[in-house]
Each structure stands twice: as C-alpha cells, then as structure tokens.
C-alpha cells in the first residue's frame, strides 16, 4: 500500500503509532432490552429468538461489540465507538432530518456519502414479507440444495461423491502418470465462467482453475467458452479444451506421500479491459498499481491513473494488470520456485503490459527445460509430508483477496500408507466415505433499488441475468470530521466500520497530503458548530476510491460452492475434511439437532424504521411473548406489527394481534423508538419450534433453525461438568462483573442444551497431518475470557471446533446413535472480528435489525443472510456408505502409533507425545521473563518477533505489520510502545529480510552447527486474532503467554502436532519452534535475487522503515538483495495480508562443493587456480591456503560471476605467495543470504553464510 516519491516527501512507510502503541478495543454496553407480555401484563421472563448471537449482553460490561479503536491501555485518552454509540447517533440523526436533498447524489463509481444514512455496505438478496397477504417471497432459502460432492460421477454406496441437484460438484483431477515417470502430471488453466450457486440465485460470474484436456488425459474434451460466449483461445488462436467444464473449487488434486505432482499452469483469462476484475481494485496498494517503470508514482495518487474500475476501462501498460494469477499450494513442502507467492505470477499471453510476470517467477528446470511461453508457469510439489488436506489458491501481489473471493482456490489431498492402514483396519472411514467441507462466506448483489440504497457507488453495471458477487470497497470511518474533544458523541458515525487515524482524538495524522478531500455535498446541508446530524462536513476523509478495507465479513454461508446445503447421511461414521476458506471470517463449529422455526414479526409505517423483535409461542401455537431486538428510530407514531408464520408451516397460524408503543418524548434518548409491545391476541396454530429428532418432523426442509434459550444460569439444564464431552457451559471467569464465560446474557441466547446430539466431531488431523491423539470436540458456544487482567481485549476461552481462515480439521462424525429421520445443523457462533465482535457481521435468525447502523435487517426464519446455521445433516438409515462399526476406543489406541509412523518427533519434548514415541517427558514451557529455552540439555535463545497495529501513513486507514522486537527494552528511538516488556520494531513487506534461517538437518543434534532450529516468540501488539501462516514448513506450538498477567497457556489439544497456520491472539506472546528442512529435489535451485521493493525503481529511498533490528538508524535504498530460497509468513486473513501483514523468510542452503581444483605456478610467486563450479546458489568463492601442517587460512573471498549455472570453469590468481614455498589450496562455495549492506552507525540487518564442503586439494610450489 505504501509508495515512495523521488521528488518530494511522499508516502513514507514508517508506521505512525498511537501513543501507547497498539490499537485497542473496549468492552461495551448493549442497548437492547427484553420484555415479555401476556396480554397486558409485564412478566419478568425473557423470550428468545430462533438462533443465537454470541455477542452482546444488555449489561454494562459484557461483550456487545468491540469496535477497533486506539490505545486500550490508556482508556482516558481515546474515544471508542460502540454499537450503543452508533445507535444513539442514528437516533439523534432521525430527530433532525436532513434539510434537503443532496446536490451530488452518490452514483456508480462516484464519491460515497460518508456522513449520511447510506451504509456503503451491501447485503445479499433478502426475502420480502407482505403484511397484507402474509406471504414471503424472494431471498435465499436455507437447505434447499444438496451438498456438492466430489465428482462428477457418484461412487456406488458413497454419499459424498457426485453432483448435487443443480449439477454442482468439485471435479476430481485426472493424473497423467506417464509424461513424467514417477510423478503425477496435470495441465491446469485459469478461466472466467459462471455457475449457479443456489436454487434461488442466478448464475454467478467466477474465476477458477480447470484441468486442461491433453492427448494422454482428454477427459470430456470440453471446448471452453468465456461468459460472453466467445471461445477461450490459446496463444496461437486455437480453441482450448478441458477435461470437464469449470466448476467451483475444482479440480481437486488427490496425491500420495513422496510421489511428486507436476503442474503446467496457463492463464486463459481475457486480456485488456475484459481481463479486469469484476470486483473493485484499489490500485494504491503495493503490487496492484504502478510498477518500477514509473519514476513518479504520484501519478497514481488516490488510484486515479492505474485504470481502476471507477476511472478507466483499461489499465495502462506501466501499471500492474488485474488478470495476474498464480498457484500457491498452501501447506506444501515445496521448492521456492514453485511456492507461487506474491511475486510469482503471470498475465495471459497477449496482455499489453510491461509486467507480464512476477519478478520471482521461475519454472521447473526439467519441465520443457525450464522455458515456457507467455502466460504459462510450471510447478513441482514434492508431497514429502504425511497425509493431510491442503489447498491451492492464488497469491498474486495486491489482488490475492479479490482473486480468492472470486473463486481461485481448490482442495489438494495427500494420503499415505499409514492412513490407508487405519482405513483398511476399520479404524477410520475409508476414502469413499470422506470428503472436503470447504466453508466460505459471500455476499451476492441485491436488486438495483436495494443496491442503490445500500451501496450506490458500486462501480459495475448490474447484470440482471446473473447473481454476481459483492465485495466491500468503501472505507467507512468510525469518526466524523473533525474530532471534537468536548463532545465525543458528535464524532460518532453510525455507519462507520473502521477507525480513521487523522479524525481520531487525539489524532494520528497521515504523513502526507491525503487526510481529507472536499466534500461535494457540503453546500447542501453543512454541519454547524456544534454539528447537528445528519449533516455534511466540509471534507471527506482521504482513503482511495475504491479502497482496500481491513476485512470483508460478508453474509451468506457457502459450503463446497453452494449456499446453505444439506447432506443425506446414513447411521454410520463419516470423515469430513473441513477447511475454513473464507477470506477473513472465523468459525466455531458445533452440531445440534435442528428445530423448526417459529413465527416472526415485521414493523411497517409509523414514520420510522429499524425496529425488530423475536416472538415466543406456547405449545398450542399461541404467541405469548416477545423480545425487542431493536427499537429502530424516527418513529412519529406507533408502527403496525404484522405477524407471519414460519415458511412451510401448513396450515399457517392466524389471529395474532400485537401493537407497538413508541417513545414520543423528545427529551428522552429513546425518542422515536419502539419501547414496548402489547399482545392483544396471541392467535393460534402458529408454528411451534420443535426439535427434529427421529420422526418428530417429517419434512427436514422445515428444520431450518437451532432452538435457543437465554444465556443465563438456570434457564436450562446446561452441561456443568468438564468430564461431559460437551464441556462445562456454566464455567466461571473469576470476574465479579461477568462471572460466566458462556452464560453471560448475550443477545439471542445460546443453543438449547436439549438440542445437543449424542455425537461429537472427533478431530484426527489438523493442517499438519494426523494428531498425536484424537480430540473430542465439545458441542458448546464460545466462552470469553472476562478476566480483568486483560482489559480492552476479549479473547475466546471456551470453544468447539474453532477455526480461522486457512485452518483445516479432519473430523469423524458418527451418526450411529442419531435416531433415524433426525436432522442436525452445523452451527457456528464465532464472534467477528474474533476479539472485537461487531453485531453487524453477525447474521442470524430473529437477530436485531441493524439497518440504522449500516447493517442488515433482521433475518427471517428459514432464510439467509445467516452465518450461524451453516449446513444440514439429514439422517436416513436407508442411505449407504460410512463406517458401520466405528470405535472410539480403537481409534484412541491406534492413533499414537500412526502419529509415530508418519510424523516427525517434536522439537520440544512434551508429555502429549509420550504415547506415540514411548517417552516419559514432561512439558517444557516458556515463561514471561524467559529469553531462552533448554531442549535436551541444549539452550536456545528465542528470536523475538512482533505483530503491530497502526495507521496507513498516507491515507490514514488501519494498517498492520509484522516485525521484530527488543525484549526488555524501552522504546527510546521511536514512538513504538513497550508491550510485554518488549519494544516492537515494525517492518513492511519490502524492508530488508529479518527472518533468515539455515536449512535444517533432521539427523543433527538440536542446537548444533548443522541444525537450523529456531525458537520464535511472537509478541502480539494487535487487537485482532491473526491466523499466521508459514510457507514451506510446519511449526510446533510450545505455549502462549499472557502479556499482562504472565499466564502460561499450553496449546489446545488440537494444536498439538504440527501446524502451518496458527492463531495469535491479542495481548499474548506465542512461542513456536521451527526446523525448516528443504525437501529432496531432482535438481539444484538458484537463489532469489531481487529488489527489496519489486514495485519501485532501484535507488529509491522513501518507502523503508530505516530502523535496523537493533533499533539503530539504517537508511535503506532499494537495491538487489539475495533472499536465498525465499518464502513468506503472513496473516491469512486476506484483507490483512493485502495490507502487508507479510514478511519474507530466507532459507540459507549450502552450495555444492566445487571440484577439479588445479593449482599451477605461472610466475615465480604467482599461482593460477582453476576449478569447476558445481552449484547454482553460490554468491562467493572462499579461497583457502596452507603450508604443511598449518591450519587452513582464507586468503580471499571473491564474488561469483557464474550466476545460477553449473559446470563453468572458474579462475583465480594468487600472487601473495612467498618464494620457495609449497602451498596447499582448496576452494569453498559460499552462499551469503540477506542484506549485507553496511548501515553505519547501525548494526544492519541479519545475514547468514553457508560454506560448501571444500573442493579437492591441490598444491603448487613457488620459486
């Protein structure tokens, strides 16, 4: 995102920190309330909705929401925006309607209205309930389509294979195992296509991978067609054919341990304007705008030059194209040239651009001699790892989040003989009884009128023949302009979502000009002093149009490419390979018996909007109570209350009469809101929420909800014993204000414990493969750590199957104890964001109407938007497949041995591995003051790293970086904070590498010279939970440490084993052990030598932090650096990755030894040396000499000039010898990785040298 300017001070990328160093969050009060009326009597019993929000209790201290803001440890200096404040601001705005129409109304591609009542955030099509006819139409119904399986053809008796009712399936790639003997070979293309993703949606425009037809694997030989009807053509103009039609998440690659997979990949996206993304691109972020051939990047200020979707139909050739793509195998032990990271991509052949491929793009040496035509890349995946689920996706610089959201991702499965043995012995389900569950969230464009109301500046024409994807593109600030120290309430923007540094109080200014722009609507309705909302301020804030946003939390659950699918299962055990493939959303997965829905209400008239309520009914179907979930605003009279029965309930209930009361006292803060209701007549025969157990409900299509109860002690028979497989729902916190972690009074309640089924998900693998022991996942809601020792951050404590983006879990679900005819729902209640929940991202049945604060209306039962009720399981004994005799005892006995057979031993011994490796180890944890750890008698120092929140210094939006830290060091050199007794030093992706590590040796003693083990302690100086992902290698989680209380927190049971994606929580340090070991390859690799900033010309200076890891000044210039074998680590919340929570990692590999050394005297004391270069990765030659029995001494180190080639004869002349002396010579190839620049007076950046074994020895004698 940050750029440089050669001529004037421009977007310096030194992070501007808040005074105490991290963007904080606050625990806030909810404003919702609950009243139960029976006829006209007020009764002190709360009613509940149909499913739950895990956020927000109506008390002053529980978690209603925790909007990102600044400086949690210095609460008196910063103002925090809460949902209560947003709603209060919205109510004030409705008291004072705007004076007139806007002169400049928002329009597609135009300037948004940041201060009015437009959310600039769209929602998927919602159903319409007609109060006159009592009917509901439109919207996206839940559980009407079956789950797309692996296909296309069903496998007899296997329920998880085959297409669904819409023809959707995940194509299984067909291997060519003869072109490259010993390898599976695939040719894969990238195309644009459409697919229908739900019965209630039209086809959706997508991008995705497709297996190409070859002579050896012709498949169906389908002629590929673009969505506009034109043929997909190759570079020669010929028709491109595929094994099958493109389908969402295809093709799934199925592989085996130690058998390589080779891929030839070709980008067949359209070129020119047709190749531009159909999602908004912010061309001011790094890698998406101007490239290094532009000498003055100010030409693209605010994204005006690089042909954004808003300003130009074509991207100039000296800007990066929007049809760049690659393949990254997430989780693969992969050579760096096949990593497919941010600088390894290609445009299609024929694209008119100065940047047809990424600067680090390299092809596989023995595939077509490493030479491919334009638009084509080759990849080599070693599969030198145990059985596991991985996935491959795009990783192109600056547009990863958009490409993945558009569909560029697919599963990749590795199996091994150990897993096959477990299957053949009936310990786990067979391959035919396992399948991926790829969970994502999407928003689909609503109709034109709704889009105009919700997001009027959406920059693309609405195609009424399709249901295309929507993505957030307007940075809506939490603050109004300007910040007001005397009346913080006036600064609250009810539609705001993210903090804007220059408008905060105290402000965090941007470094350069883009803090504000004139507001074209100011003249129509200017704000006075003090401002009376709604009004228009003189200036808009300065984020680009369109703008990258920190996260895209959207509203519709999609699994395997279908919204809200169902799956028919037998009364047997099945294995599901679960992948959180959402861009940014996390999940807390649980299983409950489904329930039918109850009736619901809609408010109409009365001059206002935004009121919502949930109803309760008795056993006869009479309405007996309600909960006002939102009072709305702007009501000048009582609105009408229409009662609707649940979808599909026949005959529908009738006769209910309910009235609403509005506060019309203008002096009250609740003025214009619905404050009470009266049930005049409860009616009869309305749908009664009924658990779908056995044959209690004959139509599973009616089983659309999870039944809820109040989240308060005593409201139901909650599990209260940790020996229960579903955990202790009554667990306490030790906090007097919030004594319960789960039963905290949260809005919407918690699932009725009567709905807990007699089965649990049993996790046997994570993304690192099999676990050392199976883990029984409790069916329970999230519980929060209300401990006062962590103020401002509400971390999740209790959890079920808790997953952040890119995490995987392979689970067994045994349905044998579920009564025939039952329906279960896969349910999630993860707060979003995880440690700072915003109720507008929590879409659930009968939830509050959040339209007044920019959110969605209340969700109608049986419909979306919903991110809680994800998927149905319909249990039918007649359905085949599955493991009929699953035994938890057998699995528990077998899994440790399977772990020992297929997984590496842990780096740090722990008791959890004793059963697998027959050891008697205790646990070794790192404490708060520790700076080292002792492993088997060897002490290793820890490498301090950091995650740091701040603000974009050019445009002012939220921004997060990775960096290093100085333990126990005051931050005297910058405004960075002292957190956890450590001073973080934040770096951008393009700063010199700081993570440099040696290639490990599995046979070497840990801590020896041959060992590459490192222990990282990552200090989180962020308010978010970040799923950190390491390319190339796995890590071992040692423990977490509370920064404020020093508590040692062991890893969760399902975090044991090996991980490559790991949650790092706010105000915690996470300690991990790494031991990277390069895979065995059939060829040698070169180093990756590239500019620090690949998007800028060499010699530029303004984009760097200019502080070395010791805290000293280092004035960095963009120059070529040897990154060795380069990988990255980054946050896998893709919105975070895109704003550069990513850093390079440099693997230092030892070169091959030179040979054929010959020493020849050419003059009296002049010796000529020649030798053969056998390495592709040496940077220097180390010439050593000795006489007789003396030690070897280095007489010269000279740069290598042979580059990545081998077999070249190298020469050196030694003219430093003495007369009449016999000299012995040998040569070492040296690989120096990292930035070797001397930055006086600073220490500089880390670098590491690896010397080869010595060459042969030769002698020469001088005269």
For residue 31, the 8-state DSSP code is: -
CA-wise closest residue to 629 among 91, 43, 35 = 35
β-pairing, 808-814 with 761-766? antiparallel
Range name among 33-37, 338-342, 413-417 with the lowest pLDDT average: 33-37
Q: What's the confidence (pLDDT) of residue 296?
A: 78
Neighbours of 680 (CB within 10 A): 14
Neighbours of 743 (CB within 10 A): 25
**Does the pLDDT value for residue 1144 go beyond 50?**
yes
Q: Show the DSSP H helices in 456-609 as ranges.
A: none
CB 90 within 8 A of CB 853: yes
pLDDT-based confidence at residue 972 (cuts at 50, 70, 90): low
pLDDT-based confidence at residue 1067 (cuts at 50, 70, 90): confident
**Does the pLDDT value for residue 507 go beyond 50?**
yes
Q: Where are the domain boundaries for CATH 2.60.40.420 in the chain? A: 184-297+304-428, 906-1148
Give the residue carrying structure tokens 């089924």.
Answer: 757
Give the residue carrying structure tokens 């649940």.
Answer: 646
Q: What's the confidence (pLDDT) of residue 1253?
A: 97
**Does the pLDDT value for residue 311 go beyond 50?**
no
**Does the pLDDT value for residue 992 go beyond 50?**
yes
Neighbours of 156 (CB within 10 A): 9
> Which residues make Cβ contacts (< 8 Å) with residue 926, sequence separation at least 6?
933, 942, 1015, 1017, 1038, 1039, 1041, 1048, 1071
CATH of domain 556-564+572-595+693-728+738-876: 2.60.40
**Does the pLDDT value for residue 313 go beyond 70?**
no
User: For the residues 859-865, what does the mean pLDDT come to?
Assistant: 97
**Does the pLDDT value for residue 863 go beyond 70?**
yes
> Which residues make Cβ contacts (< 8 Å) with residue 22, sequence separation at least 6?
71, 72, 73, 948, 949, 977, 979, 1021, 1022, 1023
User: For the residues 822-832, what does the mean pLDDT come to?
Assistant: 97
CB 1131 within 8 A of CB 550: no
**Does the pLDDT value for residue 463 go beyond 50?**
yes
Helix (H) or strand (E) holding 916: helix 914-917
Q: Which pLDDT tens digit goes with each residue over 675-693? A: 999 999 999 999 999 999 9
User: For the residues 1062-1083, what does the mean pLDDT come to?
Assistant: 95
CATH 2.60.40.10 applies to domain 1155-1262: yes
CA-wise closest residue to 917 among 925, 909, 926, 929 = 909
Q: What's the confidence (pLDDT) of residue 132?
A: 84
Q: Say how many CA atoms lie within 13 Å of 991 toward its Cβ.
A: 30
Q: What's the confidence (pLDDT) of residue 258?
A: 98
Q: Which pLDDT tens digit goes with each residue over 43-74? A: 223 233 333 222 222 222 232 232 222 233 33
Q: C-alpha distances in angstroms, 1194 versus 477, 1181, 1185?
A: 61, 10, 6
Q: What's the confidence (pLDDT) of residue 50?
A: 35
For residue 175, give both structure tokens: 């291997």
User: For the residues 168-175, what does the mean pLDDT come to?
Assistant: 97
Q: Say how many CA atoms lie within 13 Å of 740 toward its Cβ.
A: 16
- DSSP for 600-664? EEEEE-TT-EEEEEEEEE-TTS-EEEEEEEEEEE--SSPPEEEEEPPTT-SSPPEEEEEEEEE--
For residue 839, the 8-state DSSP code is: G
Q: Where are the domain boundaries for CATH 2.60.40.10 in the chain? A: 1155-1262
Q: What's the confidence (pLDDT) of residue 484?
A: 56
Say if residue 518 is preceded by a cis peptide, omega within 30 of 0.
no
Say if residue 546 is preceded by a cis peptide, omega within 30 of 0.
yes
CATH 3.40.309.10 applies to domain 184-297+304-428: no
Say if residue 506 is preceded by a cis peptide, omega within 30 of 0.
yes
Q: What's the confidence (pLDDT) of residue 315?
A: 65
**Intra-chain end-to-end CA distance of the chain, in Å:** 64
Q: What's the confidence (pLDDT) of residue 98?
A: 57
Torsion of CA 737, 741, 746, 748, to 10 degrees: -160
Q: Residues in the chain, how many? A: 1263
User: For the residues 15-30, what does the mean pLDDT come to?
Assistant: 29
Q: What's the confidence (pLDDT) of residue 1242?
A: 83
Q: What's the confidence (pLDDT) of residue 62?
A: 31
% the chain with pLDDT above 90:
75
| More confidently predicted of 198 and 539 | 198
**Does the pLDDT value for residue 579 go beyond 80?**
yes
User: For the residues 966-986, what does the mean pLDDT come to?
Assistant: 68
For residue 526, give both structure tokens: 């200017």
Q: What's the confidence (pLDDT) of residue 989?
A: 95
Tell me what the pLDDT averaged over the chain comes to. Answer: 89
Q: Degrees (nearest 5) of the Cα angle 807, 811, 817? A: 150
Q: C-alpha distances in angstroms, 843 versus 490, 851, 860, 985?
A: 28, 12, 10, 38
User: For the residues 1201-1215, what does the mean pLDDT come to?
Assistant: 95
CB 576 within 8 A of CB 790: no
Q: Which pLDDT tens digit goes with each residue over 909-956? A: 999 999 999 999 999 999 998 999 999 889 999 999 999 988 888 888
Q: Which pLDDT tens digit goes with each residue over 1166-1177? A: 999 999 999 999
For residue 1050, give both structure tokens: 């062991």
Q: What is the pTM of this model?
A: 0.93
For residue 897, the 8-state DSSP code is: H
Q: What's the confidence (pLDDT) of residue 794?
A: 85
Q: What's the confidence (pLDDT) of residue 461?
A: 94
**Does the pLDDT value for residue 1158 go beyond 70?**
yes
β-pairing, 184-195 with 204-211? antiparallel
- For the chain, give the longest Cα–Cα distance: 118
Q: Which CATH number fits domain 906-1148: 3.30.420.40, 3.40.50.970, 2.60.40.420, 3.40.395.10?
A: 2.60.40.420
For residue 289, give both structure tokens: 């705008």
pLDDT-based confidence at residue 489 (cuts at 50, 70, 90): low
For residue 876, give both structure tokens: 């039918």
Q: What's the confidence (pLDDT) of residue 234?
A: 96
């Amino acid at each position: 995102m940050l750029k440089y300017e050669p001529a004037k001070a421009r977007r310096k990328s030194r992070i501007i920190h808040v005074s105490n160093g991290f963007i904080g969050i606050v625990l806030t009060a909810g404003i919702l309330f609950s009243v139960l009326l029976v006829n006209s009597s007020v009764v002190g019993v709360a009613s509940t909705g149909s499913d739950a929000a895990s956020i927000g209790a109506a008390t002053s201290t529980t978690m209603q929401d925790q909007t990102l803001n600044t400086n949690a440890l210095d609460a008196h200096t910063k103002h925090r925006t809460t949902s209560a404040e947003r709603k209060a601001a919205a109510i004030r705005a409705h008291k004072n309607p705007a004076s007139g129409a806007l002169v400049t109304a928002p329009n597609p591609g135009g300037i948004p209205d940041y201060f009015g009542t437009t959310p600039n955030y769209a929602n998927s099509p919602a159903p319409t309930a007609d109060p006159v006819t009592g009917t509901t139409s439109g919207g996206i119904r839940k559980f009407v389509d079956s789950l797309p399986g692996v296909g296309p053809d069903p496998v007899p008796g296997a329920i998880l294979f085959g297409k669904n009712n819409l023809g959707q399936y995940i194509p299984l790639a067909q291997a060519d195992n003869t072109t490259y003997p010993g390898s599976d070979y695939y040719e894969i293309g990238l195309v644009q296509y459409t697919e229908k993703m739900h019965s209630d949606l039209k086809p959706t425009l997508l991008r995705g991978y497709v297996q190409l037809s070859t002579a050896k694997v012709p498949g169906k030989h389908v002629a590929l067609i673009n969505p506009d009807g034109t043929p997909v053509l190759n570079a020669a103009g010929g028709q491109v054919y595929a094994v099958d039609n493109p389908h969402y998440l295809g093709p799934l690659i199925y592989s085996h341990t130690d058998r390589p997979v080779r891929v030839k990949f070709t980008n067949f996206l359209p070129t020119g304007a047709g190749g531009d993304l159909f999602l908004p691109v912010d061309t001011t972020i790094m890698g998406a705008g101007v490239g290094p051939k532009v000498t003055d990047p100010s030409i693209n200020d605010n994204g005006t030059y690089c042909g954004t979707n808003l300003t130009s139909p074509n991207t100039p050739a000296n800007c990066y194209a929007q049809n760049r793509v690659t393949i990254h195998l997430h989780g693969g032990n992969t050579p760096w040239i096949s990593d497919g990271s941010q600088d390894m991509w290609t445009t299609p052949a024929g694209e008119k651009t100065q940047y047809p491929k990424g600067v680090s793009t390299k092809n596989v040496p023995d595939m077509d001699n490493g030479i491919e035509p334009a638009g084509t890349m080759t990849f080599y995946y070693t599969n030198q790892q145990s059985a596991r689920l991985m996935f491959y996706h795009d990783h192109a610089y600056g547009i990863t989040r958009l490409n993945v959201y558009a569909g560029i991702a697919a599963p990749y499965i590795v199996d091994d003989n150990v897993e096959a043995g477990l299957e053949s012995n009936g310990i786990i389900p067979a391959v035919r009884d396992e399948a991926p569950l790829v969970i994502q969230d999407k928003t689909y464009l609503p109709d034109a009128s709704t889009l105009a109301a919700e997001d009027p500046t959406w920059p693309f024409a609405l195609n009424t023949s399709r249901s295309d994807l929507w993505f957030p593109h307007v940075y809506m600030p939490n603050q109004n302009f300007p910040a007001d120290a005397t009346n913080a309430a006036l600064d609250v923007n009810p539609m705001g979502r993210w903090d804007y540094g220059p408008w905060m109080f105290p402000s965090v200014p941007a470094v350069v000009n883009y803090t504000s722009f004139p507001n074209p609507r100011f003249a129509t309705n200017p704000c006075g002093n003090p401002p009376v909302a709604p009004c228009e301020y003189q200036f808009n804030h300065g984020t680009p149009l369109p703008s990258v946003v920190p996260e895209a939390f959207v509203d519709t659950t999609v699994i395997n490419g279908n919204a809200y699918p169902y799956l028919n299962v037998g009364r047997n055990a099945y294995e599901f390979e679960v992948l959180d493939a959402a861009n940014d959303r996390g999940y807390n997965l649980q299983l409950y018996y489904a329930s039918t829905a109850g009736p619901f209400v809609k408010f109409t008239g009365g001059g206002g909007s935004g009121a919502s309520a949930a109803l309760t009914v008795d056993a006869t179907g009479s309405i007996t109570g309600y909960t006002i979930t939102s009072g709305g605003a702007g009501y000048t009279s009582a609105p009408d209350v229409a009662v609707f029965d649940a979808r599909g309930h026949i005959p529908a209930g009738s006769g209910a009469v309910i009235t609403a009361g509005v506060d019309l006292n203008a002096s009250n803060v609740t003025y214009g809101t619905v404050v009470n209701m009266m049930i005049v007549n409860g009616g009869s025969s309305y749908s009664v929420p009924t658990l779908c157990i056995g044959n209690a409900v004959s139509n599973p299509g009616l089983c659309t909800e999870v039944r809820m109860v109040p989240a308060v002690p005593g409201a139901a028979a909650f599990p209260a014993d940790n020996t229960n497989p579903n955990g202790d729902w009554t667990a306490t916190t030790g906090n007097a204000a919030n004594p319960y972690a789960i039963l905290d009074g949260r809005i919407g309640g918690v699932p009725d414990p009567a709905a807990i089924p007699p089965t649990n998900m049993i996790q046997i693998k994570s993304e690192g493969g099999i676990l050392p022991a199976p883990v029984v996942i409790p069916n329970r809601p999230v519980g929060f750590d209300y401990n006062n020792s962590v103020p401002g951050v509400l971390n999740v404590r209790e959890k079920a199957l808790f997953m952040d983006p890119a995490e995987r879990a392979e689970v067994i679900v045994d349905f044998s104890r579920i009564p025939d005819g039952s329906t279960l729902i896969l349910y999630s209640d993860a707060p979003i964001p995880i440690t700072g929940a915003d109720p507008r991202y929590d879409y659930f049945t009968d939830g509050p109407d959040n339209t007044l604060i920019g959110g969605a209306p209340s969700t109608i039962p049986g419909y979306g938007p919903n991110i809680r009720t994800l998927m149905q399981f319909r249990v039918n004994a007649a359905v085949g497949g599955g493991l009929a005799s699953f035994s938890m005892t057998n699995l528990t006995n077998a899994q440790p041995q399977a772990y020992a057979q297929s997984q590496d031993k842990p780096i740090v011994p722990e008791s959890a591995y004793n059963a697998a490796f027959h050891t008697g180890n205790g646990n070794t944890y790192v404490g708060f003051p520790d700076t080292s750890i002792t492993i088997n008698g060897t002490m290793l120092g820890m490498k301090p790293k950091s995650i740091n929140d701040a603000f974009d210094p050019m445009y002012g939006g939220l921004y997060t970086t990775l960096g290093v830290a100085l333990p126990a060091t005051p931050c005297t050199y910058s405004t960075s904070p002292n957190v956890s007794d450590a001073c973080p030093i934040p770096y951008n992706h393009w700063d010199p590498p700081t993570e440099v590590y040696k290639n490990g040796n599995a046979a070497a003693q840990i801590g020896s010279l041959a060992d590459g083990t490192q222990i990282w302690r990552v200090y989180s100086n962020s308010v978010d939970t970040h799923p950190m992902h390491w390319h190339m290698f796995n890590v071992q989680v040692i423990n977490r440490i509370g920064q404020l209380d020093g508590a040692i927190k062991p890893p969760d049971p399902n975090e044991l084993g090996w991980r490559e994606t790991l949650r790092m929580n706010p105000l915690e340090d996470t300690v991990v052990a790494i031991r990277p070991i390069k895979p065995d390859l059939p060829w040698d690799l070169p180093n990756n030598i590239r500019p620090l900033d690949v998007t800028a010309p060499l010699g530029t200076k303004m984009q760097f932090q200019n502080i070395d890891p010791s805290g000293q000044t280092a004035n960095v210039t963009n120059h070529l650096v040897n990154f060795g074998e380069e990988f990255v680590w980054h946050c896998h919340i893709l919105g975070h990755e895109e704003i550069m929570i990513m850093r390079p990692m440099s693997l230092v590999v030892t070169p091959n030894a030179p040979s054929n050394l010959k020493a020849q005297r050419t003059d009296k004391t002049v010796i000529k040396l020649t030798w053969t270069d056998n390495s592709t990765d040496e940077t220097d030659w180390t010439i050593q000499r000795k006489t007789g029995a003396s030690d070897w001494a280095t007489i010269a180190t000279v740069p290598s000039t042979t580059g990545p080639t081998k077999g070249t004869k190298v020469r050196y002349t030694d003219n430093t010898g003495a007369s009449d002396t016999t000299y012995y010579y040998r040569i070492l190839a040296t690989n120096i990785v990292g930035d070797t620049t001397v930055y006086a007076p600073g220490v500089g950046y880390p670098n590491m040298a690896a010397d080869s074994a010595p060459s042969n020895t030769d002698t020469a004698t001088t005269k």
